[in-house]
Structure 1
Amino acid sequence: MSSKSSAAAFAAAGILFFVYPAVRPSGDDAAAMASTAWLAGHTAAMIGFVLLALALLGLHRLLGDRLSLRAAAVSWAGAGLTLPYYGAETFGLHVVAQRSLRDQAPALMELAAQFRYGGVPVTMFAAGLVLLAAGAVMAAVSVWRSETLPRWSGTALALGFALFIPQFFGPYPLRIAHGVLIMAGGLWLAAAMIGGRRGKPATTSTIG
C-alpha cells in the first residue's frame, strides 16, 4: 500500500470506530439487537478492524523497521481472533433477537448470553483485542523511534486500542468518547503520513 492509501485506511478506520458506538443502540435487549442500527454499528467496527490491519501494513512499508512489521503481524492476528465474535454478535444475535420479538419468546434471548459469555468465544475475543492493543502500541513506538513521522502521531490510536476492553465496562457516553479517541488517533496518523513527515523517510522494506 502507498502512504496515501495507508493514510486513507487509518482515517476511514478511525471514523468507522466512532460510527460503531454512535450508531449502535445503547442497550443490549432484543429490540436493540433486532434493529438495523445494531447491524450498521457492528458492521462499521468489523470493517474498521480490517482497514486498521491494512493500514498498519502500509505504515510498515513507510517506516521499514522490524517493530512496525511485528505491529502489523500482531494486529492481523488480533483482527483474525476478534472478527468471528463480532460476526456472530452482528448477524447471529440479530436473527435471534428478531425471532424472539416475532414469536414473543423472551427466553430465546438466553441464547445471546450463552454465546457472548461462552468460554471459547469470549477468550478469542479478549485475546484478539489484546493483540490489537499490542500491535497499536508497537506501531506507536515504531513511529516514535522513526525519523519519518512526528513522534506523537501514533499515541492516540495506541491509547484507544489499549482502552478497548476497559471501555466495555463503562457507561455508554464513555463508549462514545472512546470512539472519538480512536477517530482522532486514526485521523492524526493519517495526516502525519500525508504531510507531517520529519527528516528523511526510512528505507522501505518488504515482507518475505
Structure 2
Amino acid sequence: MNSHLVIRWIRAGLWTLPVAWIVTAWSTLDPQPDQAKDPEAWARFVSSDPYQASHLFGSTAGTILALFGVFALGCYLANSRSGRLALAAMVAAVAGTALLLVPAVISTFATPAIGKVYLAGNRDVMQLEFPASMTGAFLLGLLLACAGNVMLGIAVWRSRMLPRWAGLLWVAGVVVFYILGAVLGQATTGSSLPTQAAGALLIAVAGAWIAWSASRQTRAAPGLVATASA
C-alpha cells in the first residue's frame, strides 16, 4: 500500500476527532426533563424533531466519527515512544465507544417511539424496562471509553511527536465529560449535565490541536509515520 496514501488517511482521520466531539457537545446542550417526575414533559421532549436530530447527528454520528479518530490517533502514535500504550489505549477506547453506540441508537430511535406512544394515551409504556444486559453494556462501555481515552492522552503526552499539553488537555476533557458529566449525570438527574458539553469541548480543542500538529509534521516530513507498503 502506498505510504503517502496511508498518511493522508490517518491525517484525515485525526481531523474527525474535533468534529466528533463538537457534535457530541451540541447533543448534550439541552438536557431532557426527569422521566419520573414529569413524564408528560419528558415524552414531548423526546418525541420532538430537535431531539431526534441532535441524537442522530450528535450522539450517534459523533460516536461513529470518534471511532475513526481514535483509530487514526492510535495508528499515528504506533511508532512513537508511547506506541505500545497508544495501541492498547486505542483498543480499549474503540471497544468502549462501540459499546456506547448501543444506548445511542436506542435513545435515537426507540425513545422517541416510547414518547409518542405515551402521548397517544398509553401510560403503561412507561413501565417498559430494558434488560439488565443493556445497563451492563453501557457501564462497561463507559469504563473502557474513559480508561482508553485517558491512556490515549497519556500516550500523546509521552510520545514526543505531538504537543504534550494537548495530551493533558485531552485527559482533562475526558475526566470532565465521562466522570463529572455522564456518570454524575446518571447518578443525580438521570440526564446530561453542563459538564458533559464542557468536557466534550475540551476534548475537541485537544483533538484539533493534535490534528493540526500532526498535519504540519506529516507535510514537513512525509516519512514520519512509518507504514508498510505493498
Where on the TM-score scale, by shorter chain, does this alignment land: which range?
A: 0.7 to 0.9
Which digits, 9 at most, give the CA deviation of each residue in 1:33-64, with x for residues without a partner? 11122212222122222222221221122222
Indicate if the aligned counterparts of 2:10 and 2:76 stay in contact, CA closer than 8 A.
yes
Q: What's the counterpart of residue 26 of structure 1?
A: 32
Residue 195 of structure 2: SS of its match in structure 1? helix
CA distance in 1, matches of 2:137, 2:196: 21
CA distance in 1, matches of 2:93, 2:149: 7
Residue 60 of structure 1: SS of its match in structure 2? helix
Q: Given the alignment, which residue of 27, 40, 54 partners 2:68?
A: 54
CA distance in 2, matches of 1:8, 1:49: 14
Q: What's the counterpart of residue 15 of structure 2?
A: 8
Q: What's the counterpart of residue 109 of structure 1?
A: 126
Which digits, 9 at most, give the CA deviation of each residue in 1:127-178, with x for residues without a partner? 1011111111111111111121111212333333333143133574334333
Larger Rg: 2
Q: What's the counterpart of residue 179 of structure 1?
A: 200
After superposition, the Cα gap between the structure-2 partners of 1:14 and 1:186, relative to the gap in structure 1 and judged at 3 Å, is: farther
The 5 Å alignment of 1:4-153 reads 4-22=11-29, 24-28=30-34, 29-43=42-56, 44-64=58-78, 65-101=83-119, 103-111=120-128, 114-115=129-130, 118-153=131-166
Q: Given the alignment, which residue of 150, 156, 171 partners 2:169?
A: 156
CA distance in 1, matches of 2:109, 2:141: 19
CA distance in 1, matches of 2:118, 2:94: 35
Deviation, 1:8, is: 1.6
Deviation, 1:107, is: 3.2
Letter in 2 for 1:186: G
In the alignment of these two chains, the number of paired residues is 199
Letter in 2 for 1:127: L
Question: What is the CA RMSD across the aligned residues, in angstroms?
Answer: 2.6
CA distance in 2, matches of 1:203, 1:195: 12
Task: Name stretches of at least 5 consecutive residues in structure 1 with no aligned partner.
Answer: none
After superposition, the Cα gap between the structure-2 partners of 1:165 and 1:108, relative to the gap in structure 1 and judged at 3 Å, is: farther
CA distance in 2, matches of 1:95, 1:19: 22
Which digits, 9 at most, give the CA deviation of each residue in 1:13-50, with x for residues without a partner? 1211112113x453251011111222122221222222
TM-score for the superposition, normalised by structure 1: 0.82
Q: Which portions of structure 1, spanning 4 or more consecutive aligned residues, are displaced by more than 4 angstroms?
A: 200-203
Give percent identity, aligned residues only.
Answer: 27
Task: Name stretches of at least 5 consecutive residues in structure 2 with no aligned partner.
Answer: 1-5, 35-41
CA distance in 2, matches of 1:174, 1:106: 33
Residue 148 of structure 1: SS of its match in structure 2? coil
